[in-house]
Amino acid sequence: MVPDIKITENPPSDLLNQLEKEIRSNHNILSPEKMSIESITLSIHNENILIGGLYARMPGNWLHITMLWVAENKRRSGIGQLLVEKAQNEAIAKGCKYSMLEASTPESKLFYIKQGYKLYAELPDFPVDFKKRYYLKKHLS
């Protein structure tokens, strides 16, 4: 008998948490006792309107920034830099030594390089509309 495969778009967090728990339980090196994974979200509001935010996870001693957004009319105002700095400081306080992220535009790649990140890889043709995906990392001090 072939088991049913369920495809879920926008999966609920409890399914993702269960998958992560199962994967980690099968790999001793990733067991919860050896590596915790915390998440942080930072947001900036102006008169109750969201103008910027950052989401990151902290597996082990790494900060992995997965999302950074600043409202278009607030870009180049220092909000992005402030969010990245605050996330890095929080990660350092929790024992992180490194940070990593992906950038999808040449502009965002340059932004992160100005924040001290180093480019370590490029993936061409992903996704097609962006032409390249950039991978950057930083040693946190």
Give pLDDT, residue 67: 95
Distance CA(5)–CA(2), nearest Å, equals 9
Give pLDDT, residue 35: 60
Model pLDDT for residues 49-92, shown as the tens digit of each residue: 999 999 999 988 999 999 999 999 999 999 999 999 999 999 99
Homologous superfamily of domain range 13-139: Gcn5-related N-acetyltransferase (GNAT) (3.40.630.30)
Structural domain boundaries of the chain?
A: 13-139
